[in-house]
A and B are shown apart, each in its own frame.
Chain A
């Protein structure tokens, strides 16, 4: 991969990766570092990036996995927080702060804290793709290189445990 290609790829696909990292990590500095690291890994494995169509799902999986590991190291397990329900405003200065406290992200963080207590790495990824990224089972299967049947089985198990946790 040439230098020029790397620069253009970074600027073209970086926002998607950064957005994902910000959503999972809820910290602009960590999200910035994570985005950088994801692309460094992409460059190391550039042989796998044969066309742009393949970039996004691949980067999405690498970014999610990387962020989940960061969260595990950070000790996010078991920490359930409440949303501050602060609305979006026009002031760009505290944009990151507002994004980090948005109800969607608080919900995502709470889901992650549960995932770490119950599931292995593959199941965590599937759960994040399903419940945070809103992917269909076909998209998850394509992104992770799994069969749709495997994804379906994992999701059914996750759903069962989630219902147990909810006391139903």
Chain B
């Protein structure tokens, strides 16, 4: 950031302006130490920061999901953002990844590697922590999947995930019958190395099969490398004792995890 933000002014009662607050909330290190100290000690500015945090949370949970499609649609000439993301798979080609699919799951296809080369993941401003958003494409319609939603066979899923720091990321699903599937990464059985705190769409997508029932998707993050076999073993041990488990235990190293549950229903 420029020098003007490093020594920004005192227009209202000695407090930095909203513009400086915006910069501070994007990256606290982009403003000078006196400004940081002020935001931490001035009662009015502490309230401004708290208000900003709440508005940011509202934006991320309510505003962005309903508007970003139209915003990015401007880029893709009226197309929905997520439709555009899904369509971005087309030039790469659909690559069936049946190697991870158990016999009972033959209708699940892990398809399409979305080439993110040149699109380095960038932290998007939400407070640090593991997060995941799941989007589904059904025909021409793209929508965000919420916990407990019912999906249909043939729905194509994509994931947008945020990680808190450098480490290793994996997404697996566990079906009602106990089958464990690797959703991400799709180019091997080792967790994907993430170089820094980041957030963005993950490469690849998943098409749901015809098998009805509950399915929980787990996003797993560790600072240490791990692979699908370790996760599958832990998942099966966990499910033996707690079939409805919302989190996995007995993983080989310290993990952060989050999950979302959906139901696969009929057409």
Which residues of A are in contact with B by a Cβ distance under 8 Å? 1-8, 10-16, 18-20, 22, 32, 35-36, 39-40, 43-44, 53, 56-57, 60, 92, 95-96, 99, 130, 132-136, 138-139, 142-143
Asked if residues B54 and A134 are in contact (CB atoms below 8 Å), the reply is no
A2 and B20 CA atoms in complex are apart in Å by: 28
- Ordered by A's residue number, 6 sampled pairs between the chains whose C-beta atoms are within 8 Å are A10-B68, A12-B122, A15-B59, A15-B60, A15-B125, A139-B4
Cβ 8 A contact of A36, one of B62, B71, B116, B200: B71
Asked if residues A136 and B124 are in contact (CB atoms below 8 Å), the reply is no
Which partner residue on chain A sits nearest B20 by CB separation? A139
Asked if residues A139 and B9 are in contact (CB atoms below 8 Å), the reply is yes
Asked if residues B63 and A43 are in contact (CB atoms below 8 Å), the reply is no
Asked if residues A138 and B4 are in contact (CB atoms below 8 Å), the reply is yes
Asked if residues A19 and B52 are in contact (CB atoms below 8 Å), the reply is yes
What residues of chain A lie closer than 8 Å to B200, measured between beta carbons? Answer: 4, 7-8
A92 and B50 CA atoms in complex are apart in Å by: 13
| A3 and B75 in contact, given A36-B67, A95-B58, A143-B19 (Cβ under 8 angstroms) | yes
What residues of chain B lie closer than 8 Å to A134, measured between beta carbons? Answer: 11-12, 15-18
B72 at the binding interface (Cβ < 8 Å): yes
| A6 and B71 in contact, given A95-B54, A138-B9 (Cβ under 8 angstroms) | yes
What residues of chain B lie closer than 8 Å to A44, measured between beta carbons? Answer: 74
A139 and B4 CA atoms in complex are apart in Å by: 7
What residues of chain B lie closer than 8 Å to A57, measured between beta carbons? Answer: 19
Q: Known A-B contacts: A10-B64, A14-B63. Give 5 more (CB < 8 A).
A: A4-B200, A12-B122, A19-B55, A56-B19, A134-B18
On chain B, the number of residues with a Cβ less than 8 Å from chain A's Cβ atoms is: 52
Among the stretches B22-30, B163-171, B176-184, B189-197, the one at the interface with A is B22-30
A3 and B201 CA atoms in complex are apart in Å by: 11
What residues of chain B lie closer than 8 Å to A136, measured between beta carbons? Answer: 8-11, 17
Asked if residues A11 and B60 are in contact (CB atoms below 8 Å), the reply is yes
Interface hub of A11, A36, A133, A143 (most chain B Cβ within 10 A): A11
Asked if residues A139 and B72 are in contact (CB atoms below 8 Å), the reply is no
What residues of chain A lie closer than 8 Å to B25, measured between beta carbons? Answer: 15-16
Asked if residues B124 and A11 are in contact (CB atoms below 8 Å), the reply is yes
**In whole Å, how far is B92's beta carbon from the nearest beta carbon of chain A?**
14
A138 and B119 CA atoms in complex are apart in Å by: 35
What residues of chain B lie closer than 8 Å to A92, measured between beta carbons? Answer: 54
**In whole Å, how far is B12's beta carbon from the nearest beta carbon of chain A?**
4
Asked if residues A16 and B64 are in contact (CB atoms below 8 Å), the reply is no
A7 and B201 CA atoms in complex are apart in Å by: 10
Asked if residues B18 and A32 are in contact (CB atoms below 8 Å), the reply is no
Among the stretches B80-88, B99-107, B231-239, the one at the interface with A is B80-88
| A11 and B125 in contact, given A16-B22, A139-B4 (Cβ under 8 angstroms) | yes
A133 and B12 CA atoms in complex are apart in Å by: 9
Asked if residues B18 and A6 are in contact (CB atoms below 8 Å), the reply is no
A60 and B119 CA atoms in complex are apart in Å by: 26
Find residues 119-154 in chain B having any chain A CB closer than 8 Å to their own CB.
119, 122-126
What residues of chain A lie closer than 8 Å to B72, measured between beta carbons? Answer: 3, 6-7, 10
What residues of chain A lie closer than 8 Å to B2, measured between beta carbons? Answer: 53
Asked if residues B85 and A12 are in contact (CB atoms below 8 Å), the reply is no
**In whole Å, how far is A58's beta carbon from the nearest beta carbon of chain B?**
11
Asked if residues B8 and A139 are in contact (CB atoms below 8 Å), the reply is yes
What residues of chain B lie closer than 8 Å to A16, measured between beta carbons? Answer: 22, 25-26
B66 at the binding interface (Cβ < 8 Å): yes
Cβ 8 A contact of B18, one of A18, A39, A133: A133
**In whole Å, how far is A56's beta carbon from the nearest beta carbon of chain B?**
5
Asked if residues B119 and A2 are in contact (CB atoms below 8 Å), the reply is yes
